[in-house]
């Protein structure tokens, strides 16, 4: 991305869309990027209502209507590409993506994951952090590659795990951090400050550490 044009973004969701909302709110003050469309694989995702309220085009593509993962991803790519995105943002999109999809959007695909990657890839991250007696837990934004939750980390935010905290309480606290770091990473990308280089993520052309930029709230 250069800063000479608006960064077109497509956001993929499956649920509540609170990260989508955080990005919508942030971009309202940063017009160098705009969300062209929100795509959900679930018709009842509340994030679609958020998109509608913000005047953003919405698409629903039910993965169950497709014969296999590749057929769904191929149709998904067609919907996304109608909007010619510079960036595709996964915001609680709960689908495993095919290599065809991740390659198609290489270097312009971001995801947020509710753990301090590389710890706790996959699901149930908050309970797993508690079960592992982690002292710290948090969230990570990363570039998406073919490896599930394995692409170069851009930014992380951590909190100390409280004694006797439930997974729900921890999830809620991590969610609040997600709403801070995801808009920031998206803005960096839109401003042309963030990119995926050959050896990892670069911020202002400086290589980021493997755990990314450490956000202090």
Q: Which residues of the shown chain bind ligand GAR in the complex (CB under 6 A)?
A: 13, 15-19, 47, 91-92, 112-114, 139, 175, 178
Dihedral pair phi/psi, residue 154, rounded to 5°: -100, -50
Min dist. Cβ of residue 152 to ligand GAR (A): 16
Q: Which of 47, 85 has the CB closer to ligand GAR?
A: 47
Min dist. Cβ of residue 192 to ligand GAR (A): 25
Min dist. Cβ of residue 174 to ligand GAR (A): 7
Active site residue 63: no
Residues in the chain: 217
Q: How far apart are CA 97 and CA 5, in angstroms?
A: 29
Point out the catalytic residue in the list 30, 63, 104, 113. 113
> Residue 104's Cα: distance from chain center in Å?
17
Q: Which of 1, 42 has the CB closer to ligand GAR?
A: 42
Q: How far apart are CA 122 and CA 131, in angstroms?
A: 15
DSSP string, 10-42: EEEESS--HHHHHHHHHHTT-TTEEEEEEEESS
Q: Which of 67, 123 has the CB closer to ligand GAR?
A: 123
Q: How far apart are CA 10 and CA 83, in angstroms?
A: 7
Structure tokens at 125: 């991250």
Residue 209 DSSP label = P
Min dist. Cβ of residue 3 to ligand GAR (A): 27
Q: Say if CB 154 and CB 145 are below 8 A apart.
A: no
Q: Which of 16, 180 has the CB closer to ligand GAR?
A: 16
Paired with 57 in beta bridges are 37
> What residues act catalytically?
113
């Amino acid at each position: 991305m250069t800063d000479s044009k608006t960064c077109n973004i497509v956001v993929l969701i499956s649920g509540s869309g609170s990260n989508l909302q955080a990005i919508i709110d942030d971009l309202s003050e940063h017009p160098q990027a705009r969300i062209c469309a929100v795509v959900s694989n679930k018709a009842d995702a509340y994030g679609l209502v958020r998109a509608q309220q913000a005047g953003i085009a919405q698409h629903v593509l039910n993965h169950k209507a497709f014969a296999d993962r590749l057929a769904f991803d191929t149709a998904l790519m067609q919907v996304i590409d109608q909007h010619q995105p510079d960036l595709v943002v996964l915001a609680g999109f709960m689908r495993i993506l095919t290599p065809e999809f991740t390659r198609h959007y290489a270097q312009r695909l971001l995801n947020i994951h509710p753990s301090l990657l590389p710890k706790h890839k996959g699901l149930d991250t908050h309970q797993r952090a508690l079960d592992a007696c982690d002292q710290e837990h948090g969230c990570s934004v990363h570039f998406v590659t073919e490896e599930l939750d394995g692409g170069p980390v851009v930014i992380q935010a951590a909190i100390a795990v409280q004694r006797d905290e439930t997974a729900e309480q921890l999830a809620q606290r991590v969610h609040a951090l997600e709403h801070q770091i995801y808009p920031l990473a998206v803005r960096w990308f839109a401003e042309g400050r963030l990119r995926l280089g050959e050896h990892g993520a670069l911020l202002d052309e400086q290589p980021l550490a493997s755990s990314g930029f450490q956000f202090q709230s």
